[in-house]
Amino acid sequence: MAFLPTEDLYDNEIYLRLDRTAEENKEKGYVPAYYFTICLRDNSQEIGSCDLRIGYNDNTYYGGNIGYRIEESYRGNHYATKACRLLFKLAGEHGMKSLIITCDPQNIASARTCECAGGILKEIAELPETNEMYRDGAREKCIYQFMIDNSDKS
């Protein structure tokens, strides 16, 4: 897979600064991924991080195609939702038609982010015992699906 340019991942408030990419690791079940720092546009303040995993497998079903984290002092401003929307654009450029974002059932803020970004709750899934998150103590994940609109793709 070829990684694409990411300089256009910004809106009126934030931009995503590419930190690194990671190639597929079939042995571990990892798909190719982009890793970003979320920054404010007006002063380049780093306010969080996000990543986009390109492709579909059991790991992306239970762990999601997108992950995000916002620093506590910046929460409540919908920055995670805005970052997800920017990542949807990049996913569409890779030809992805849908994405999964997951969260723990107790993580109300993350569930709200998924809903605000247009996700539909598919299920609350029990993690397989072979999943890394299960080995780390998690037992369930809320699985949100997002449809990607590729209609404006050149």
Please state the pTM of the whole predicted model. Answer: 0.94
Average pLDDT of the segment spanning 109-127: 97
**Is 4 inside a domain boundary?**
no
Whether 60 contacts 100, CB under 8 Å:
yes
- 95 by Cβ neighbours in 10 Å (0-12 / 13-18 / 19+) ranks as exposed
> Is 38 within the bounds of a domain?
yes
Percentage with pLDDT > 70 across the chain: 97
Q: What is the domain count for the chain?
A: 1
pLDDT at residue 8 tops 70: yes
- In a domain? residue 2: no
